[in-house]
């Protein structure tokens, strides 16, 4: 039996294998009108194909907890019941194929109100359905980006409430895993990092203050999420900033990620989804196959929190080795699943594992 295709249990939820789909934005929802943020046929086909292909856990793209939480005007949302109905159609199908449906709950913060990547990806204004982004501090993400509105303490609590209500709606939509998006320089990650958080109140300064918002969001989600179902947290293990980076304030570090993991476990998080980067646009990142796996491995070895590894994991034997060597409890595939929706089926054949196939596709065995 391949370790990659062994079931994995978190609380009372059994995920059929360790091949999981990482959240990947599609920028394909309606940007304005009654169907703003509602899942379309594209989202259904995109997510359904990976379930048909044998992926054990299928996570949606970053799904905004409020209109100002979107990365782009064309992002998915889960702040109203119309959006819930569109997502329920997807979760019903994923479950029918034996996959576990998961949702990533997100707020983009200062990286919000931007165009889709194929439209340039830069900031958009009100004439293009944009808005004024918000952040822990009035620091633009990069040159050419607007100065974000600095959140007040009351506004921070409003967003905590948006995460709580989004989690409640996610449960109504049929999701079985809720992932809080604290990575890639979006709002929670902006609070975590001294690179983007210059506050002097209870949400800024020392480590305990910078993680306060993240823990409050986790508490809000856990408050409405069933005890038998898991909550994940996605983190950027490092901002990839060093003291030698000119004009760059010190960033979030791997040491702080380990400390955060301990706190997250105490607040009811069941697994850390370990990525990196995204908060500093000119950080120097050296990529290679599995380049982020050591971050996940360190968290797993130094804390009791399970982890999933991500980042240029492309080959079945590579993924199998990550699991068998105890470096992570599961692997998350992004671009590789865009290239091959049936990667799990391909990997099972290569590793000699048994994996359920839809009856309609049995002739391909």
Catalytic center residues: 186
3-state class of 310 per DSSP? strand
| 3-state SS, one letter per residue, for 192-219 | HCCCCCCCCCCCCCCHHHHCHHHHHHHH
Beta strands in the chain (DSSP E): 8-10, 13-15, 19-21, 57-64, 100-106, 134-135, 149-150, 177-182, 231-236, 271-275, 307-310, 330-333
Classify residue 334 as exposed, middle or buried by CB count within 10 Å of its CB (0-12, 13-18, 19+).
middle
Give, as one character, the DSSP assignment of residue 359: G
Contact status, residue 53 vs residue 341, Cβ threshold 8 Å: yes
CA dihedral (145, 147, 153, 155) positive or negative: negative
Residue 128, judged by CB atoms within 10 A of its CB (0-12, 13-18, 19+), counts as middle
The gap between the terminal CA atoms of the chain, to the nearest Å, is 19
Nearest alpha carbon to residue 105 among 56, 69, 54? 69
Angle between helices 81-96 and 153-172 (to 10 degrees): 40
d(CA 287, CA 134): 30
């Amino acid at each position: 039996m391949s370790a990659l295709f062994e079931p994995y249990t978190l609380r009372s939820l059994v995920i059929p294998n360790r091949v999981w789909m990482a959240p990947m934005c599609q920028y394909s929802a309606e940007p304005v009108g009654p169907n703003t943020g509602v899942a379309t046929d594209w989202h259904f086909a995109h997510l359904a194909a990976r379930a048909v292909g044998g992926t054990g856990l299928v996570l949606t793209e970053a799904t905004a907890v409020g209109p100002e939480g979107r990365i782009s005007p064309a992002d998915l949302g889960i702040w109203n019941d119309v959006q819930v109905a569109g997502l329920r159609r997807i979760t019903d199908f994923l479950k029918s194929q034996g996959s576990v449906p998961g949702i990533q709950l997100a707020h983009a913060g200062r990286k919000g109100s931007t165009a889709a990547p194929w439209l340039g990806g830069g900031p958009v204004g009100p004439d293009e359905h944009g808005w004024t982004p918000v952040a822990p501090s009035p620091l633009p993400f990069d040159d050419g980006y607007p100065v974000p509105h600095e959140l007040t303490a009351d506004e921070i609590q409003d967003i905590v409430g948006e995460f709580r209500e989004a989690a409640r709606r996610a449960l109504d939509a049929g999701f079985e895993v809720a992932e809080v998006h604290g990575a890639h320089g979006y709002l929670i990650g902006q609070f975590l990092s001294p690179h983007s958080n210059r506050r002097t109140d209870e949400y800024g300064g020392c480590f305990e203050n910078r993680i306060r918002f993240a823990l409050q969001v986790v508490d809000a989600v856990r408050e409405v999420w069933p005890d038998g179902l898991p909550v994940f947290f996605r983190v950027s293990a490092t901002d990839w900033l060093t003291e030698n980076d000119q004009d760059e304030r010190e960033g979030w570090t791997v040491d702080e990620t380990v400390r955060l993991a301990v706190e997250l476990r105490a607040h009811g998080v069941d697994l850390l989804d370990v990525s990196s980067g995204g908060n500093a646009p000119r950080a120097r990142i050296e990529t290679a196959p599995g380049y982020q796996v050591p971050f996940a491995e360190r968290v797993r070895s130094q804390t009791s929190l399970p982890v999933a590894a991500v980042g240029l994991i492309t080959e079945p034997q590579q993924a199998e080795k990550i699991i068998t060597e105890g470096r992570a409890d599961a692997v998350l595939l992004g671009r590789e699943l865009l290239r091959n929706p049936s990667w799990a089926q391909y990997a099972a054949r290569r590793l000699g594992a048994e994996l359920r196939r839809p009856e309609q596709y049995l002739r391909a065995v």
